[in-house]
Homo-oligomer: A and B are copies of this chain.
Amino acid sequence: MIIRCSKNDLVNGINIVSKAVPAKTTMPILECILIDAAGQKINLIGNDMELGIETSIAGEIEEKGTIAIDADILSGIIRKLPEEAVEIRTEGEKVTITCNKSKFVILGKDGREFVYLPEIDKNDGINVSQFTLRDIINKTIFSISDNDSNKMMTGELMEISNGMLRVVSLDGHRISIRKSELNGSYNDRRVIIPGKTLNEISKILDGDTDKFVSIFFTDKHVLFEFNETTVVTRLIEGEYFRIDQMISSDYETHFTVNRKELLDCVDRATLLVREGDKKPIIMTIADASIQLRINTAIGSMDESIEVNKSGKDLMIGFNPKFLIDALRAIDDEEVDMYFVNSKAPCFIRDAEESYNYVVLPVNFAAAE
């Protein structure tokens, strides 16, 4: 194989596919990036068998071929080369990388050992802007569970229904729901995508509202296609939780509050919480203000914030981290919070329910 391309194109391509290269694996070939120049284009591929990413970069193929190169070594070398044309030439498994007067010789692995991405039929997909997909992931991903004991909770539900895209994550203490209208009409779909995949995708999406992602589904996989990149991931199998039974629009207490003011206050309260400590922040909702209190081994905090309240007075306790995560994921200046009683979940949602963050309360009487 002999190929030539610009240093920057190579760096960009390597950055993208590296997201699918596992740090540790029992199959050393997977720690490599495959450079596949067997066809008309130079393709780079990373694959950890659950998540696979392929991207093609501009360049010239003088001699067709493939080679797998350790991702860390390849990425390290290319990153530090001068910003000029790079030539990669193989003789068997010997790889010579030349750029200007600099010449590296390293050992690669036979490209035929590498595991290519599964073939997915590109039928019946949906289109969504890169911005929307990234936004919707970033604003829900924090409430997946990182505990493998319930596999379902480590992924997000992606649901297409009635021309809406809905993404849901939950970890047993809270639920994050984001909705976005789709342009066009699509068949209904319901898949559970591993959180790791969504995390990595959100890092390589452009975040451009004018650029689109096409998403294709099979029973076992989902494929994302954008720019010159293809991401294929296995799905989590099984039936997701029945979300709609968990959310309700009834409430006894409601207030509107300046989001940043509430966020800063709860954030300050966490200073008094040592790791592993489960002290709740206690919210006392009265007519024109809410009082927030926390009391831990380190000390106590007491602060009040003006709100626009309707309904009953209420005293309710929360894990401050869960309130913070939800409030950070909202862009609105003012947020509406809805409560039923001190033992029922609180809902932070907008009128259109483009977002709905559900946070379970904590028994504060025990904590007092």
Contact = CB atoms under 8 A, between A and B. Distances in A.
A299 B105 contact: yes
A265 interface: yes
Interface stretch (A16-24, A30-38, A77-85, A173-181): A77-85
Contact of A299 (B80, B107, B299, B300): B107
A62 interface: no
Contact of A301 (B102, B272, B299, B305): B102
A73 B302 contact: no
B104 A301 contact: yes
B265 A300 contact: no
A271 B101 contact: no
Nearest to A78: B271
A106 interface: yes
Interface string A61-94: 0000000000001001100111000000000000
A267 interface: yes
Interface residues of A, number: 27
A102 B268 contact: yes
Given A106-B298, A271-B73, A298-B106, A304 B101 contact: yes
B268 A77 contact: yes
Given A80-B267, A271-B80, A103 B73 contact: no
A26 B300 CA distance: 27
Contacts of A301: 102-105
A106 B105 CA distance: 61
Nearest first, the 10 A-B pairs at minimum CB distance are A106-B299, A102-B303, A76-B271, A80-B268, A105-B300, A103-B302, A104-B301, A105-B299, A101-B304, A101-B303
Interface of A: 73, 76-77, 80-82, 101-107, 264-265, 267-268, 271-272, 298-305
Given A104-B272, A104-B301, A105-B299, 15 more contacts: A73-B298, A76-B271, A77-B268, A80-B267, A80-B271, A81-B268, A101-B303, A101-B304, A102-B268, A102-B302, A103-B303, A105-B300, A105-B302, A106-B272, A106-B298
18 contacts: A73-B271, A73-B298, A76-B271, A77-B271, A80-B268, A80-B271, A82-B264, A101-B305, A102-B268, A102-B301, A103-B302, A104-B272, A104-B299, A105-B300, A105-B301, A105-B302, A106-B298, A106-B299
